[in-house]
Amino acid sequence: MEWKEFLEKRLKIIRPIITPVLFVVACIGFYYLKSAILGSILLCIFLLFSITEYLSSVKEEEIIDEKVEQIKVDINENINSNIFNLIFPVSIIKESGEIFWSNKEFRKFIPEEDPSGLNIVSIARGLNISRLLACDRDLHQKIKIVDSLYIVYASRIEGYDLDENLYIVYFNDISNFKNIDNTKESIMLIEVDNLAEVLENTLESDRPMLVADVEKSINAYAQRLKAMITKYDTNKYVLSVQDKYIDEEINNKFSILKEISEIDRGNKFEVTLSIGIGRGGTCPLENNNFATTAKELALGRGGDQVAIKNNDKIKFFGGNTREIEKRTRVRARVVSHSIKELIYESSNVLIIGHKNPDMDCFGSSIGLSSVVKQLGKQCNIILGKDVSAIEYFLGKLKSDSRYDNLFISVEEAYEQINEKTLLIIVDVHNSSYILERGIVDKVQRKIIIDHHRRSPDTVEGAILSYIEVYASSTSEMVTEVIQYMVQRPNLTRLEAEGLLAGIFMDTKGFSFKAGVRTFDAASFLRASGADTIEVKKMFMDNLEDFLIIADTIKTAEVNNNLAIAVAPEGLKKSFMAARAADELLNISGINVCFVLININGDTVISGRSIGEINVQVILEELGGGGHMNMAGVQLSNTTIEEAKIKLKESIEKHLKVGE
């Protein structure tokens, strides 16, 4: 069979050649046989046969060409017809995004006009053209048009000689599948953040029932959410929950926080929870990492709240319970030892605080610089240009030769940085509020000491983060630490007064967040020579400042025990807003107040509270931070009126949700 097929193929190739060859041989034979007439006749027959064969082949080729062209037309018509009548929208666009052609489904987006010539972005708003033209399906985009959700991707039209590239854009309707997200699993980590403190202040006979009530409430909560729950420590639980139940809890403002706080077994303190939720990740492992980060944030902000981390977005709920002071100094001792070892391993130490430093920031810097020098290391404090809030104390230090060369500018700090430089960040952990972010990024070895509630915008890469929200001030924390760093801290009177002034300022004269450890620290500083009269002088207002504060208070708008005041125009001292806010709280009938001041186009807002309203979460919404009772924010390129509108919106939002 193989030989037969081979011969047939060869004959097909040879056959067109055999006939002409035979005619030619026959004609030559006749001429040799002296029969020219027969040879001529045979030649004419050959020519006639060849012409007929040629005409026949030409006609056949024309017929074939016509059929091919007709087939092409039919195919194109069918393709156009099929694409035009596809059940999902399709369009052809130019590189600029201009619509070149569209099918019937696409034209339903704007039935009143022909979309040709329009830019596709005007129809599919939010579409990223450059990402679309990459023609990578992994880079598809989800776009909502009218009431439907589409996955949009494109492919380039190849094989045509065109002046401009054309792309087919496909719109795949996934509206019927959008509820699938509700079946995704989120990870919830629950920690009873103050169980040890609550049990310590509860009668021993009531402790088992208290623990049982807490466990019963958390397990009942898990059942309501139809969640898998596992207890992995004495006060810690992990839950796997469907996303749709998380959405329901967001609407309910996480009622579990209130339920737990209402447990009463003779305990002196309310039981509180810190909950971290991770959602939106590509896998359970990623959601668990999100939940861990969220719970750390909730704990770092004082507990009694829920933090939800959805990729880069973080939301907080709750946070209205005052922090419980931890009486043990174990962590302070451990941290102080670690700081001492890091100082010994460093070539030099730089101390930096936040923008527009106050006495808590500056006083804690002075205290640390003293102990660093006692450890035999070079130390400098970085100061910016705005030092109006610390001007009085800074002047006293500069008049003392012992503090020559202690303070350096930002530019000088850059010159002193090397691989072994240690940077200590005090009274701030929010990267956007640090005096100079570039220095933080450049230094590899960093320590954070702060008492503010944790912010999502925390400085990353710190070797040691000592953030305790229960502490009254950073100065209190530093006072404790330096007592363990050296056996006998040799503080000068000025250094002790700087630390005491920091505590005095943040506690408002020992009236806010002043616990046992606060007075212990103040006692140590007093024993080190701090003069309370000198500390008081640092916060005394001159007549001009007092009149400005009075004018600011006059502008106060009071509604439901909440006051909003605006400082006079032309004022260049940002700390005056804080002074005015403090004075407003001394007025009967005002439990919460906000003071706004505009300086060089930026608006500074200081918030104060003595009630249950958390000013920190209100100003955090605007990009600020602080504590439940004291917070602030600076809005760049914002007028007073614009800032007031944003403030009122945030107040309304958080009062509405009970924060």
Residues placed in the known binding site for Mn(2+)? 354, 358, 360, 427, 451, 506
CA dihedral 103, 107, 108, 109 (to 10 degrees): 120
SS3 annotation, 324-380: CCCCCCHHHHHHHHHHHHHHHCCCEEEEECECCCCHHHHHHHHHHHHHHHHCCCEEE
First to last CA, the chain: 91
The first and second tokens of residue 286, run together, are 């990623």
Contact 520, 475 (CB under 8 A): no
Within a 13 Å sphere around the CA of 604, how many CA atoms are in the beta-carbon half? Answer: 23
The first and second tokens of residue 195, run together, are 């169980």
Q: Of all residues in the chain, what percent are helix, strand and coil, respectively (each to 5)?
A: 45, 20, 30
The rounded distance, in Å, linking the Cα atoms of 125 and 103 is 19
The rounded distance, in Å, linking the Cα atoms of 90 and 81 is 12
Query: 396: which residues sit within 8 A by CB, 6+ positions away?
Result: 494
Query: 99: which residues sit within 8 A by CB, 6+ positions away?
Result: 91, 92, 93, 115, 116, 117, 118, 119, 120, 123
Per-residue CA distances from 326 to 193, 470, 646 (Å): 12, 7, 36
Between vectors from CA 455 to CA 613 and to CA 301, what angle results, nearest 5°? 55
Per-residue CA distances from 654 to 163, 245, 589, 606, 658 (Å): 57, 22, 21, 17, 6
Contact 237, 229 (CB under 8 A): yes
User: How many CB atoms lie under 10 A from the CB of residue 172?
Assistant: 12
The first and second tokens of residue 405, run together, are 């060369």
The DSSP line for 232-256 is: EETTEEEEEEEHHHHHHHHHHT-TH
Contact 648, 621 (CB under 8 A): no
Torsion-angle region of 206 (φ positive above 0: left; ψ -120 to 50: alpha; else: beta): alpha
Contact 231, 253 (CB under 8 A): no
Q: What is the three-class DSSP state of 462?
A: coil
User: How many CB atoms lie under 10 A from the CB of residue 323?
Assistant: 22
Query: 132: which residues sit within 8 A by CB, 6+ positions away?
Result: 139, 141, 152, 153, 154, 167, 169
Contact 273, 260 (CB under 8 A): yes
The rounded distance, in Å, linking the Cα atoms of 70 and 420 is 80
The first and second tokens of residue 268, run together, are 């002196």
The rounded distance, in Å, linking the Cα atoms of 583 and 565 is 11
User: How many CB atoms lie under 10 A from the CB of residue 290?
Assistant: 26
Which secondary structure element, helix H or strand E, spans residue 302, and what is its range?
none
Q: What is the three-class DSSP state of 32?
A: helix
The rounded distance, in Å, linking the Cα atoms of 462 and 527 is 33
Binding site feature residues: 354, 358, 360, 427, 451, 506
The first and second tokens of residue 174, run together, are 């996934």
The rounded distance, in Å, linking the Cα atoms of 659 and 656 is 8
